[in-house]
Protein backbone atom coordinates (compact mmCIF):
# COMPACT_ATOMS: atom_id res chain seq x y z
CA UNK A 1 0.00 0.00 0.00
CA UNK A 2 1.29 3.46 -0.83
CA UNK A 3 0.89 5.58 2.30
CA UNK A 4 -1.14 8.75 2.01
CA UNK A 5 0.44 12.08 2.95
CA UNK A 6 0.26 12.45 6.71
CA UNK A 7 0.11 8.68 7.32
CA UNK A 8 2.58 8.40 10.18
CA UNK A 9 0.84 5.87 12.42
CA UNK A 10 -0.32 2.28 12.25
CA UNK A 11 -4.09 2.23 12.17
CA UNK A 12 -5.41 0.65 15.32
CA UNK A 13 -8.75 -0.88 14.35
CA UNK A 14 -9.77 -3.18 11.48
CA UNK A 15 -12.54 -2.18 9.08
CA UNK A 16 -16.06 -2.82 10.37
CA UNK A 17 -16.56 -5.61 7.83
CA UNK A 18 -13.63 -7.51 9.39
CA UNK A 19 -14.92 -7.60 12.97
CA UNK A 20 -14.57 -11.00 14.57
CA UNK A 21 -17.37 -12.86 16.36
CA UNK A 22 -16.05 -11.52 19.66
CA UNK A 23 -16.25 -7.91 18.47
CA UNK A 24 -19.97 -7.55 17.81
CA UNK A 25 -21.09 -4.11 16.66
CA UNK A 26 -22.67 -1.97 19.35
CA UNK A 27 -23.50 1.29 17.55
CA UNK A 28 -26.20 1.65 14.90
CA UNK A 29 -25.98 4.50 12.40
CA UNK A 30 -29.17 5.33 10.50
CA UNK A 31 -28.63 7.27 7.28
CA UNK A 32 -31.30 9.74 6.23
CA UNK A 33 -29.48 11.22 3.22
CA UNK A 34 -26.93 13.99 2.53
CA UNK A 35 -25.27 14.67 5.92
CA UNK A 36 -28.25 13.71 8.05
CA UNK A 37 -27.73 10.60 10.16
CA UNK A 38 -28.69 9.16 13.50
CA UNK A 39 -26.54 7.31 16.03
CA UNK A 40 -28.20 4.95 18.53
CA UNK A 41 -26.38 4.88 21.86
CA UNK A 42 -27.65 3.44 25.16
CA UNK A 43 -31.21 3.39 23.84
CA UNK A 44 -31.02 7.07 22.83
CA UNK A 45 -31.08 8.47 19.30
CA UNK A 46 -28.67 11.26 18.40
CA UNK A 47 -29.72 13.02 15.18
CA UNK A 48 -27.22 15.07 13.20
CA UNK A 49 -27.87 17.90 10.71
CA UNK A 50 -31.55 17.28 9.87
CA UNK A 51 -32.16 17.85 6.15
CA UNK A 52 -34.74 15.51 4.65
CA UNK A 53 -37.91 17.12 3.33
CA UNK A 54 -36.38 18.79 0.26
CA UNK A 55 -33.65 16.22 -0.41
CA UNK A 56 -34.56 14.47 -3.67
CA UNK A 57 -32.49 11.42 -2.72
CA UNK A 58 -34.36 10.94 0.56
CA UNK A 59 -37.82 10.38 -0.91
CA UNK A 60 -38.19 7.12 1.06
CA UNK A 61 -37.40 8.85 4.35
CA UNK A 62 -40.30 10.42 6.26
CA UNK A 63 -39.03 13.25 8.44
CA UNK A 64 -42.10 13.02 10.66
CA UNK A 65 -41.06 9.52 11.78
CA UNK A 66 -37.38 10.18 12.54
CA UNK A 67 -36.69 9.73 16.27
CA UNK A 68 -34.51 12.13 18.25
CA UNK A 69 -33.46 12.49 21.86
CA UNK A 70 -30.66 14.91 20.97
CA UNK A 71 -30.18 16.92 17.76
CA UNK A 72 -26.69 18.14 16.86
CA UNK A 73 -26.27 20.87 14.25
CA UNK A 74 -22.81 21.45 12.78
CA UNK A 75 -23.58 24.80 11.09
CA UNK A 76 -26.39 26.97 9.80
CA UNK A 77 -26.64 26.13 6.11
CA UNK A 78 -30.09 25.04 5.03
CA UNK A 79 -28.93 21.59 3.93
CA UNK A 80 -27.97 20.90 7.55
CA UNK A 81 -30.72 22.58 9.58
CA UNK A 82 -33.87 22.60 7.43
CA UNK A 83 -35.86 20.07 9.49
CA UNK A 84 -34.29 20.79 12.88
CA UNK A 85 -37.07 22.98 14.24
CA UNK A 86 -39.93 20.66 13.25
CA UNK A 87 -38.23 17.53 14.59
CA UNK A 88 -37.22 19.26 17.82
CA UNK A 89 -40.79 20.43 18.43
CA UNK A 90 -42.27 17.00 17.66
CA UNK A 91 -39.81 14.96 19.73
CA UNK A 92 -38.91 17.37 22.51
CA UNK A 93 -35.24 16.77 21.73
CA UNK A 94 -32.55 19.10 23.00
CA UNK A 95 -30.56 20.81 20.23
CA UNK A 96 -26.77 21.06 20.55
CA UNK A 97 -25.26 23.76 18.35
CA UNK A 98 -22.99 26.78 18.43
CA UNK A 99 -24.02 29.89 20.34
CA UNK A 100 -25.23 31.87 17.33
CA UNK A 101 -27.45 29.06 16.05
CA UNK A 102 -28.77 28.64 19.60
CA UNK A 103 -29.85 32.31 19.57
CA UNK A 104 -31.48 31.89 16.14
CA UNK A 105 -33.44 28.82 17.25
CA UNK A 106 -34.39 30.47 20.55
CA UNK A 107 -35.84 33.42 18.63
CA UNK A 108 -37.96 30.92 16.69
CA UNK A 109 -39.46 29.54 19.88
CA UNK A 110 -37.26 26.57 20.78
CA UNK A 111 -36.27 26.30 24.44
CA UNK A 112 -34.53 22.92 24.73
CA UNK A 113 -31.12 24.17 23.60
CA UNK A 114 -27.54 23.35 24.65
CA UNK A 115 -25.05 25.81 23.14
CA UNK A 116 -21.40 24.79 22.80
CA UNK A 117 -18.47 26.24 20.93
CA UNK A 118 -15.13 25.14 19.52
CA UNK A 119 -13.18 23.20 22.14
CA UNK A 120 -16.12 22.80 24.50
CA UNK A 121 -17.24 19.46 25.92
CA UNK A 122 -20.69 18.57 27.23
CA UNK A 123 -21.62 15.43 29.16
CA UNK A 124 -25.17 14.18 28.67
CA UNK A 125 -24.75 11.08 30.81
CA UNK A 126 -24.80 8.35 28.21
CA UNK A 127 -22.39 10.23 25.94
CA UNK A 128 -19.73 12.94 26.12
CA UNK A 129 -19.55 15.29 23.14
CA UNK A 130 -16.64 17.55 22.25
CA UNK A 131 -16.90 20.30 19.64
CA UNK A 132 -13.99 20.57 17.20
CA UNK A 133 -13.21 23.20 14.61
CA UNK A 134 -14.65 22.65 11.12
CA UNK A 135 -13.10 24.66 8.29
CA UNK A 136 -16.16 25.74 6.32
CA UNK A 137 -18.60 28.68 6.29
CA UNK A 138 -21.89 29.21 8.09
CA UNK A 139 -24.96 31.39 7.64
CA UNK A 140 -28.57 30.76 8.54
CA UNK A 141 -31.28 30.11 5.92
CA UNK A 142 -32.43 33.74 6.29
CA UNK A 143 -28.90 35.02 5.65
CA UNK A 144 -28.09 35.96 9.24
CA UNK A 145 -24.77 35.11 10.86
CA UNK A 146 -24.41 31.43 11.71
CA UNK A 147 -21.33 31.45 13.92
CA UNK A 148 -18.37 29.12 13.46
CA UNK A 149 -18.99 25.64 11.98
CA UNK A 150 -18.32 22.66 14.22
CA UNK A 151 -17.45 18.99 14.08
CA UNK A 152 -18.39 16.63 16.91
CA UNK A 153 -16.58 13.74 18.59
CA UNK A 154 -18.85 11.49 20.66
CA UNK A 155 -17.55 9.15 23.37
CA UNK A 156 -19.63 6.47 25.07
CA UNK A 157 -19.24 3.04 26.64
CA UNK A 158 -20.81 1.54 23.51
CA UNK A 159 -18.32 3.09 21.11
CA UNK A 160 -17.06 6.39 19.82
CA UNK A 161 -17.21 8.31 16.56
CA UNK A 162 -16.29 11.60 14.94
CA UNK A 163 -18.40 13.67 12.56
CA UNK A 164 -16.43 16.41 10.82
CA UNK A 165 -19.38 18.49 9.67
CA UNK A 166 -18.60 20.08 6.30
CA UNK A 167 -14.96 20.61 7.14
CA UNK A 168 -12.14 20.59 4.67
CA UNK A 169 -9.13 18.41 5.39
CA UNK A 170 -7.23 20.00 8.26
CA UNK A 171 -4.33 19.01 10.48
CA UNK A 172 -6.57 19.91 13.44
CA UNK A 173 -8.15 16.48 12.95
CA UNK A 174 -5.05 14.95 14.55
CA UNK A 175 -6.30 16.31 17.88
CA UNK A 176 -9.53 14.26 17.87
CA UNK A 177 -8.01 10.93 19.02
CA UNK A 178 -6.61 12.69 22.10
CA UNK A 179 -10.24 13.10 23.24
CA UNK A 180 -11.31 9.68 22.04
CA UNK A 181 -9.95 7.20 19.47
CA UNK A 182 -12.91 6.97 17.06
CA UNK A 183 -14.28 3.60 16.01
CA UNK A 184 -15.90 5.11 12.92
CA UNK A 185 -15.74 8.42 11.06
CA UNK A 186 -18.54 10.26 9.30
CA UNK A 187 -16.96 12.47 6.66
CA UNK A 188 -18.11 14.41 3.58
CA UNK A 189 -16.79 13.04 0.30
CA UNK A 190 -18.59 15.08 -2.38
CA UNK A 191 -15.85 17.68 -3.01
CA UNK A 192 -16.51 21.28 -4.22
CA UNK A 193 -18.00 22.53 -0.91
CA UNK A 194 -16.28 19.97 1.37
CA UNK A 195 -13.58 17.33 1.19
CA UNK A 196 -13.56 14.99 -1.75
CA UNK A 197 -13.04 11.30 -1.18
CA UNK A 198 -9.24 11.50 -1.59
CA UNK A 199 -9.01 14.08 1.19
CA UNK A 200 -11.49 12.07 3.28
CA UNK A 201 -9.09 9.11 3.03
CA UNK A 202 -6.24 11.37 4.17
CA UNK A 203 -8.43 12.50 7.06
CA UNK A 204 -8.99 8.88 8.07
CA UNK A 205 -5.22 8.43 8.31
CA UNK A 206 -4.85 11.56 10.44
CA UNK A 207 -7.67 10.32 12.67
CA UNK A 208 -6.19 6.82 12.97
CA UNK A 209 -9.43 5.11 11.95
CA UNK A 210 -10.08 2.72 9.07
CA UNK A 211 -13.87 2.86 8.76
CA UNK A 212 -15.61 5.84 7.15
CA UNK A 213 -19.28 6.46 6.43
CA UNK A 214 -19.43 8.83 3.48
CA UNK A 215 -21.71 11.89 3.60
CA UNK A 216 -22.55 15.01 1.58
CA UNK A 217 -22.40 13.56 -1.92
CA UNK A 218 -24.74 13.04 -4.93
CA UNK A 219 -27.49 15.26 -3.47
CA UNK A 220 -26.87 18.02 -6.03
CA UNK A 221 -25.27 17.84 -9.50
CA UNK A 222 -22.12 19.65 -8.36
CA UNK A 223 -21.30 17.00 -5.73
CA UNK A 224 -22.01 13.82 -7.66
CA UNK A 225 -19.20 11.31 -7.39
CA UNK A 226 -18.06 8.01 -8.89
CA UNK A 227 -18.94 5.74 -5.97
CA UNK A 228 -17.02 2.76 -7.35
CA UNK A 229 -13.88 4.87 -7.74
CA UNK A 230 -14.29 6.28 -4.23
CA UNK A 231 -14.73 2.83 -2.68
CA UNK A 232 -11.77 1.46 -4.63
CA UNK A 233 -9.57 4.36 -3.54
CA UNK A 234 -10.30 3.63 0.11
CA UNK A 235 -9.72 -0.09 -0.33
CA UNK A 236 -6.41 0.52 -2.12
CA UNK A 237 -5.26 2.50 0.88
CA UNK A 238 -6.30 -0.07 3.49
CA UNK A 239 -9.48 1.76 4.46
CA UNK A 240 -13.18 1.01 4.26
CA UNK A 241 -15.75 3.43 2.80
CA UNK A 242 -19.39 2.66 3.60
CA UNK A 243 -22.09 4.27 1.44
CA UNK A 244 -25.49 3.36 2.84
CA UNK A 245 -28.69 4.21 0.98
CA UNK A 246 -30.96 6.82 2.59
CA UNK A 247 -33.37 5.05 4.90
CA UNK A 248 -30.98 2.22 5.79
CA UNK A 249 -28.80 1.53 8.83
CA UNK A 250 -25.28 0.24 9.52
CA UNK A 251 -24.07 -1.50 12.66
CA UNK A 252 -20.51 -0.79 13.74
| Domain hosting residue 181, numbered range | 27-242
Domain for residue 224, yes or no? Answer: yes
Residue 22 lies in a domain: no
Q: Is residue 248 part of a domain?
A: no
Domain harbouring 75, CATH code? 3.60.15.10
Total tally of structural domains belonging to the chain: 1
Instruction: Specify if 148 maps to a domain.
Output: yes
Give the span between the Cα atoms of 74 and 78, in whole angstroms. 11
pLDDT value for 23: 52
Residue 11 lies in a domain: no
Spatial CB neighbours of 141, under 8 Å, sequence gap ≥ 6:
76, 77, 78, 81, 82
Shortest CA distance to 152 belongs to which of 106, 118, 124, 114?
Answer: 118
The predicted structure's pLDDT at residue 26:
75
Q: What is the pLDDT of residue 211?
A: 98
Report mean pLDDT in 10-residue bins for the chain, 252 residues.
31 46 70 97 96 95 96 96 97 98 97 97 95 95 96 95 97 95 97 97 97 97 97 98 96 90
Q: Has residue 155 been placed in a domain? A: yes
45 within domain boundaries: yes
- The tens digit of pLDDT for each residue in 204-234 reads 999 999 999 999 999 999 999 999 999 999 9
Q: Which residues contact 28 (CB under 8 A, 6 or more apart)?
A: 39, 40, 249, 250, 251, 252
The DSSP result for 227-247, as a single string, is HHHHHHHHHHTT-EEE-PPTT
Q: What does the pLDDT read at residue 3?
A: 33
CA–CA separation, 69 and 41 (whole Å)? 10
Secondary-structure percent of the chain, ordered helix, strand, coil, rounded to 5: 25, 25, 50
Q: What is the pTM of this model?
A: 0.90
Q: Does the residue 68 lie in any domain?
A: yes
Beta strands in 86-197 (DSSP E): 94-97, 113-115, 121-123, 128-133, 150-156, 159-163, 184-188
CA–centroid distance for 12 within its chain: 21
In this predicted structure, what is the pLDDT of residue 9?
Answer: 32
In contact, 198 and 66? CB cutoff 8 Å: no
Amino acid sequence: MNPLPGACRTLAKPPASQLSAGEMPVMRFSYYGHSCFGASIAGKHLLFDPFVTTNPLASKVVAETIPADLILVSHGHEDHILDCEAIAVRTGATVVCNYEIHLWLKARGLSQLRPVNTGGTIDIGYCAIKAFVAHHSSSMPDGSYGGHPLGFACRSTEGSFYYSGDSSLTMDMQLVPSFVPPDVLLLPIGDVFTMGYEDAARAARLLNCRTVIGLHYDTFPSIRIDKEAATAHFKKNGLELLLPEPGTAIDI
